[in-house]
Amino acid sequence: MGRSLAHLIQVVQQLHTEGIGFRSHQENMDATTAGDQLIFHIFGALSEFERALTREHTEAGLAAARARGRIGGRPPRLSADQIRMAQR
């Protein structure tokens, strides 16, 4: 529902100012009560933390692969000679 914790909170607050309550049936949570708002914010913070950990692990994995000489991506279609010929 939100791209980040700040965006998620902004969306829910905007809905609240328009008189719209947020209720999640999956988590059995009603974000119009103080207790459920706290849980809502905790879930959002945990989700943002999980995304940050995934990003860190991905970057560490890519750095380790580069250190082993792996470049990543698709292999080149043309050889260096073919590229020079096409440029001429």
pLDDT (tens digit per residue) in 10-30: 887 888 889 888 777 776 777
pTM summary value: 0.58
Q: How confident is the model at residue 2 (pLDDT cuts 50, 70, 90)?
A: low
pLDDT at 88 over 90: yes
Burial class (CB in 10 A: 0-12, 13-18, 19+), 2: middle
Residue type, 48: E
- Answer whether 12's CB lies under 8 Å from 21's CB: no
